[in-house]
Structure 1
Amino acid sequence: MLWYNPTLDQDMPRWVYASWAIGLFLYQTFDAVDGTQARRTRQSGPLGELFDHGVDACNTVLEVLLFAAATNLGQSWNTILTLFGATLTFYVQTWDEYYTQTLTLGIISGPVEGILTLCIVYAFTAVKGGGSFWQQSMLQTMGIKEHSIIPDYIHDLRFNEWFMVYGGFVLVFNTLQSTLNVMKARREQGKDVYAPLFGLLPYFVTWIFVPLYLYLQPVILHYHLIPFTFYVGLINAYSVGLIIIAHLTKSPTFPMYNVLTVPLGLAVADSMGPIIGLWPSVLGFGTYQIAFVFLCMGLAIGVYGSFVYDIITTICDYLDIWCLTIKYPYNEKDELKKSK
């Protein structure tokens, strides 16, 4: 993608889209069977759950970029809206799991229907020869003519914009469903049903900063959106990781603080200074802002990477296991001897 379509709005060779479809399908398949394999070999545990969620969280931001490149969304607000929907879904479902102790997926879930939809989009794009196909008006392409009962703006909506409408409905439905799940669980426990809603604040605080920063710094939105997307995606991955740790350790305190949000908030304040006339911008509106975004992406990789390393080594040392290989293979005969 970075070689053929760094601006997210160019057609690429067919094999690129086909490789995405095949790769994502294999990813979904292995993601579905890894838990079964772990239970079969008696190796399931907290590290596996954390590892699974961590990989999924990182893959979320990658798929946002691939989808944007496949449908030629470009470096635009549409790509940011796609990122918002994908990360909110992941955050809310993890928040739901923390309070209900059960991972609940919506009727149209990201790991199943969502990924299959993306596989179909990538494969169809390969057949059509490029993402420019999705730039056409869907209704016109389907042969539906203009009519007085169909507003022009609806008739002219492109395929990729209809994808976003569909995603918006799914997002609202799944978010409401998770919220109701949490409130129901709290009600059954005899606890405050509204207190958990504060757990959504870290996400929405971040997403107040994101559009504000991009509005104030259009050079990032239109020319350097990929590193910024990675940065925002890792903010979400880190938040989700903290929630999973709190869930696994049965922590009574929901993690509300994410250090990776701090630079973004400071950047917004820095950019607003000249506009409100209270202080000059330190970073300005050009080269230093670009350097800042790449620095934030590097910081996010470092913080999240060190977090993952620390958690993996801590769990492995405590449970006396290895991360990617089986240290003590399960042997049914040996287990029977021990039980006797």
Structure 2
Amino acid sequence: MSDATKPVLELMIAAPRGFCAGVDRAIKIVELAIEKHGAPVYVRHEIVHNKFVVDRLKAKGAVFVEELDEVPDGAPVVFSAHGVPKSVPADAQVRGLDYLDATCPLVSKVHRQAERLVAAGRHIVFIGHRGHPEVIGTFGQVPPGSMTLVETVADAEALVPADPGNLAFLTQTTLSVDDTAEIVATLERRFPAIEPPRGEDICYATSNRQAATKVIAASCDAVIVLGAPNSSNSLRLVEVAERQGRPAILLQRAADLDLGWLAGVRTLGVTAGASAPELLVRELVERLGDHYEVVEREVETTRENVAFKLPRGLAAA
């Protein structure tokens, strides 16, 4: 199709979008471990929830497993950015495995808070999604029975704790800011003495990407979120756009886009979850350029300059 006959499509590309500091660090840890030890390096669970990233690391020599017993004796192993229960590094030590922990420092901060609160005798109400690796990892920091999972406002309304005057709450780092605020308001109304976290548990990257998506969605006909279906923060971005009354879809790759979905769309919002590389955004823009005369506009709502240190021993590599 010649440019003269292509319809015009305005793209509003959210900034910030894509990789956060924790994801960036986790991927670097796997890459440097492969450099240091040679392939294969085993990784317990997807290092981050993105198929493209995982496939690229597999090509470099990473082997992804779900449990530690799939790691051969003597092989190096990396724990994913989502965090692991305490039993996992303990088992690795018993087996003499050389392990690296790529847990995001903001998830580790939640882990330390959980330990501190339980040591102080508080029962923790944990707001999160059942079965998510971050939730499993956080529950695994404290003795069984020390925490209760709450997923919805209805769960918060139905909660009957043994000691209502001695509660604290923590949250998963990748939740919907708006949904979580409703759940917290319910808990604080029902249990006025509940202790909040020190600082916000929902991470800066999750909050920033949701805020940027709200801004672009308000001015768009539809929104595309690049990310994986098992990525909590990417799924939340779709919900944020839909709450603004805009149709929104989650795509893993540009090739997954059904162009029919864009019928009637003149202004398209584009963003990417915290584990989706910028390459996937460029790939989408390129594909759209085959069918439209694309006019790109980046909409920056905040600037991020967060960086996390690498584990000792790898930083030198």
Q: Same fold judged by TM-score > 0.5?
A: no
Larger Rg: 1
Name the structure where strand makes up a greater proportion of residues: 2
Tell me which of the two structures has the higher relative contact order, counting C-alpha pairs closer than 8 angstroms and 6 or more residues apart. 2
Q: Larger helix proportion, structure 1 or 2?
A: 1
Q: What range describes the TM-score normalised by the shorter chain of this pair?
A: under 0.3
